[in-house]
Structure 1
Amino acid sequence: MPGFPLPRRPPSFDLAELVGRKTEDARERCERDGFQVQVIDAGTPSAVTLDLRPNRIRLHVRRGVVEDCHQG
């Protein structure tokens, strides 16, 4: 139902495993687990929304490699 928060479901893997991986490999891993992915270039200042979406994983990447990631 729209307007109701989605239940928080942890990924079936440890998000720390994504750090150091190529962006596309990390994206595929998250999508295969049923998450939407947002890629953020860590080398470029950008705005991100503050909305909490438990079905989203944000990948902070630099030069095509994941530096940090989090769910929400």
Structure 2
Amino acid sequence: MAPVRDRRTGFSRRRQYGVFMGYVLAVAGVVVGAALLVASAFEPPLFAGLRMAAASVTTPVSSLLGGAV
């Protein structure tokens, strides 16, 4: 019987690169999120516009759910 070429069955190089890229993107997302969190903690006026935009977009839903909760 011929020996198996790939010892890790089910794991191709493309799949390994995909998993690695997923981890890289996850770590990058955590780093960007932490940087934004630190920036918003030390410089609150910097994100005031974004907070107001998010509040104006979610106002209709929050007003409907505000009475139910």
Q: TM-score, normalised by structure 1?
A: 0.19
Q: Higher relative contact order at CA 8 Å, sep ≥6: structure 1 or structure 2?
A: 1
Which structure has the larger Rg? 2
Q: TM-score, normalised by structure 2?
A: 0.20
Higher helix share: 2
Higher strand share: 1
